[in-house]
Chains A and B, each alone.
Chain A
């Protein structure tokens, strides 16, 4: 019985490795805010959403598979949460609690496992009962497949048979085991059997030939004999004890898998509800194949910032289709970094099948890398430029054609002349290798170099200067200016003093 709610054809492995640049992404794109919103205090949900958001999908149909399931969850959050709760209940049943201390005796393991299996039955039944409603309301392929499977596998007749097996396994009628003769005539191993269901007619009972059999009884005083018989019985149930215990484990692992895969959607529901509470909006994005240089966003905003501030914030509308290099210049504190982060966040959320913080979002799939300005290296091991170039080098180690590299004030640790030169070298090479770059900078020399090349696949955006001291935080297309309005800010500041 496969859960298959995160992938259409395989199970999600919570231990799967995340990309090497994950820690950097979390830091630069402020992803912890998003994770926390999704998980709250739940460590289990946190771990899984983190893994899933950081390791994106590269297959568009898989993204759409998840989107459809997520849409179902957002439409029916209550029922989805009920399903999740059911999975949690299943996971909470631990057979070890019922086995006692003597866990290397087969009969103890068997009895403990039977108790656990009995507790699973009502949960399986509830799951089955949920299926009818689910098939009538959920529309995603994922949920439909899952509940169809539940209906088929956990039918009333199956549950009935399970109850019968559990009754048999208590062996209230004694045990029936068979054996061959070994080299010293003792039994090597025993095979255990059900009691045959014999329905004998009256005629058979009178005239029928009975099976030849020979019996004996151990006397009450024969304590040793009793112990030996106990051992033989334990030997007899050895194999089946193992199998029943393993079956218990199988059922629990099924519930665990269900809980794991649903945790992602529960996280998404939580996030959605918080966004709605602060009066903001999200929408489902349209993914495009890798390397097709699609990018269009309408009112894309930084979701982490919005959640931190607890209010709706302004978004950007950018058309960068066919653009491989985007350079962003302009006023300090004008929203450049915020914009860069919102792009990174949107890509990651799109690629794991989530909604995105915007009204419209359409982009080609791309692995995301970031190279942001950092604090002075506290360990004083290297100079700041060293540190930047070191990080850049690590990125080059892993980055592949079609990836997206977000650079925020890179090489600002040195002067404009030197920093521009370095930047020009690196960016030119990366462009040639089909890496897509969005570069936020205040290096005029650097920006002008590329502007002068007058290429069709370059885009230049500018953060507007404040009007009456107020920033718009909106980026507009515009050529790089020599100043970032430092003079204006100076004047205003000094003027304020008089």
Chain B
């Protein structure tokens, strides 16, 4: 039974290194952090760090997401999770309690909530038209669980014991420091008697007298009272006691597992909900283990989008496509134009697609990489320029040694700490190796000389508006601007005409 999972069908994914470079460079760590910030009670990090490597498993998750796209069903599942959460909360409180009988009573309460939650969930499932294999499989399990004798007996007992406890009524005769506990014998409410006795004088409304409320924790006096009540109703309390002992662990492991795994889906849906509300599109991409002719339409960087939503700024979407032999995008253009964002988006799309999640965009076809490598600038001590160049070269060398033709590579401003001639020469060497490996890559650089290399490279640029100053954040396929050497140098140090105007504005 435990072999079935809501997260995969064919191949259990393995967790990657939490400290992997690409997670930080692509801001994916921020995204995951954000998603999990309100889900501390669940252990979801593992799931977000285990990408799938199987097209079929990706489809498996897509189907479940599609079922959850139905609002009512999603709400009912969230309801269920809240119910189980409440149960766990009550169980947690029990451990802090001191009196045996109170613990037992709370356990009864927890089981009551559990049964109600399960019943409700079952009902929701009955009334929903499910299409995903994962959820239908779980529904089969749920049906047999709800109809099993174990559950039915549990349910029956909890209802019976609760209602018999509700019938218990006792009287206290308190005189000085003596307390006598007896069964309630039908005595009349004296307050009511007094009220009707004085009723005749009433002329109109009079104020109600408010009194303080006392502390609500159990104490040794009331425990002593309850002990005696238990002696007056020995059968009921014995039944409670036995029931509590037999049912210390009442949560079915499959239910627990479902609650955990479904939170993976819910957590992501809750994270993208505000973006969807603003009209941003999400889609279920075609993911291929073989084909590298990828495209995506109207996509955006999720982390950035989340930030911009709260400051009411507009989010610019971009598209890209690679046809035929095309594999490597060389992205050049004015600084602050959204190039790094675009590169991050490229990486995020692929990573989230490999987790089987709906991704930003109106439609997409992506590749399923075996690994994602990133080469972003490191903030080094500027004096040690030699060290930085060496570091760059060593890193890219390590990456290319590990990479396979199924990897994904994202390079952001490499070799910026050496002369242009060196940088261009080095760049060309690297691109040749990348081309030979036939891997998908995006290379953000200020070196426009690299933008044309062979039939595998594609030039894209970041654009500015008519006034040469406003950033549009639009990235388009276009040949590089072909500016002179000087302009290129100036670009490198952010000293172009446009740069200076912009920088002096603030």
Question: Which A residues are closer than 8 A to B by beta carbons?
Answer: 1, 11, 104-106, 109, 153, 161-162, 165, 168-169, 173-181, 183-187, 190-194, 196, 211-220, 224-226, 228-229, 231-236, 238-247, 249-251, 253-254, 256-257
Contact = CB atoms under 8 A, between A and B. Distances in A.
Nearest to B108: A183
A173 B184 contact: no
A185 B198 contact: no
Given A193-B171, A215-B179, A242 B203 contact: no
B279 interface: no
A173 B175 contact: yes
A281 B331 CA distance: 115
Interface string B162-179: 000110111111111111
A213 B178 CA distance: 13
Contacts of B198: 243, 246-247, 250-251
Contacts, number: 189
A254 B172 contact: no
4 interchain residue pairs of minimum CB distance: A174-B175, A247-B198, A214-B228, A250-B201
A180 B191 contact: no
Indicate the member of A153, A193, A247 with the most B CB atoms within 10 Å.
A193
A216 B179 contact: yes
Contacts of B180: 213-215
B316 interface: no
B222 A186 contact: yes
B102 interface: yes
Nearest to A257: B203
Contact of A229 (B165, B179, B204, B209): B179
A232 B174 contact: yes
Interface stretch (B212-220, B424-432, B441-449): B212-220
B177 A217 contact: yes
Nearest to A233: B174
Contacts of B109: 183
B197 to A, nearest CB: 6
A321 to B, nearest CB: 43
For the residues of B in contact with A, the DSSP-based class is mixed
A145 B112 CA distance: 61
B487 to A, nearest CB: 76
17 contacts: A1-B200, A104-B210, A104-B212, A178-B171, A180-B168, A181-B165, A181-B166, A184-B106, A185-B226, A194-B193, A211-B185, A231-B214, A235-B214, A242-B209, A247-B194, A247-B201, A250-B206
B153 interface: no
Interface in B476-494: none
B197 A211 contact: no
Contacts of B208: 242, 246
Nearest to B227: A214
B191 A239 contact: yes
Contact of A246 (B171, B206, B224): B206
A254 B204 CA distance: 9
A162 to B, nearest CB: 7
B446 to A, nearest CB: 68
A194 to B, nearest CB: 5
A196 B212 contact: no
A153 B175 contact: no
B166 A251 contact: no
Nearest to A214: B228
Size bin of chain B's contact surface: 35 or more
Given A174-B175, A178-B170, A236-B174, A212 B190 contact: no
B399 interface: no
A1 B201 CA distance: 5
Contacts of B211: 104-106, 109, 234, 238, 241-242
A192 B191 contact: yes
Contact of A174 (B173, B187, B188, B206): B173
Contacts of B231: 214
B202 A253 contact: yes
Contacts of A234: 211, 214
Contacts of A220: 177
Nearest to A2: B203
A12 to B, nearest CB: 11
Contacts of B204: 253
A58 B209 CA distance: 40
B171 A176 contact: yes
B393 interface: no
B182 A193 contact: no
B465 interface: no
Contacts of B165: 181
A296 B247 CA distance: 97
A181 B216 CA distance: 14
A410 to B, nearest CB: 44
Contacts of B224: 216
Contacts of A177: 171-172, 174
A100 B168 CA distance: 38
B197 A165 contact: yes
Contacts of B199: 250
Interface of B: 101-102, 105-106, 109, 165-166, 168-185, 187-191, 193-195, 197-204, 206-212, 214-216, 218-222, 224, 226, 228-229, 231-232
B94 to A, nearest CB: 10
Nearest to B204: A253
Nearest to A217: B178
A173 B179 CA distance: 12
Contacts of A191: 189, 191
Given A153-B200, A234-B214, 14 more contacts: A165-B194, A168-B190, A175-B174, A186-B216, A212-B232, A213-B182, A215-B180, A240-B191, A242-B209, A247-B197, A247-B198, A250-B206, A253-B204, A254-B203
A95 B190 CA distance: 22
Contacts of A228: 219-222
A458 B77 CA distance: 89
Contacts of A238: 211
B178 A193 contact: no
A13 to B, nearest CB: 9
A229 B101 contact: no
Given A105-B212, A183-B105, A215-B181, A176 B187 contact: yes
A324 B359 CA distance: 92
A243 B191 contact: yes
A246 B215 CA distance: 26
Contacts of B200: 1, 153
B221 A232 contact: yes
Contact of B178 (A11, A109, A215): A215
A153 B201 CA distance: 10
A192 to B, nearest CB: 5
Contact of B209 (A162, A214, A215, A245): A245
Nearest to B188: A193
B172 A243 contact: no
Indicate the member of B109, B170, B172, B183 with the most A CB atoms within 10 Å.
B172
Nearest to B229: A181
Nearest to B228: A214
Contacts of A173: 175
A193 B174 contact: no
A216 B212 CA distance: 27
Contacts of B184: 178
B221 A229 contact: yes
Indicate the member of B179, B201, B219 with the most A CB atoms within 10 Å.
B201
A240 B168 CA distance: 23
Nearest to A184: B102
A243 B195 contact: yes
Nearest to B93: A184
A290 to B, nearest CB: 31
A235 B172 CA distance: 12
Contacts of A224: 219
Nearest to A117: B198
A185 B173 CA distance: 18
Indicate the member of B174, B179, B190, B221 with the most A CB atoms within 10 Å.
B190
Contacts of B195: 243, 247
A193 B189 CA distance: 5
Given A1-B201, A228-B219, A176 B172 contact: yes
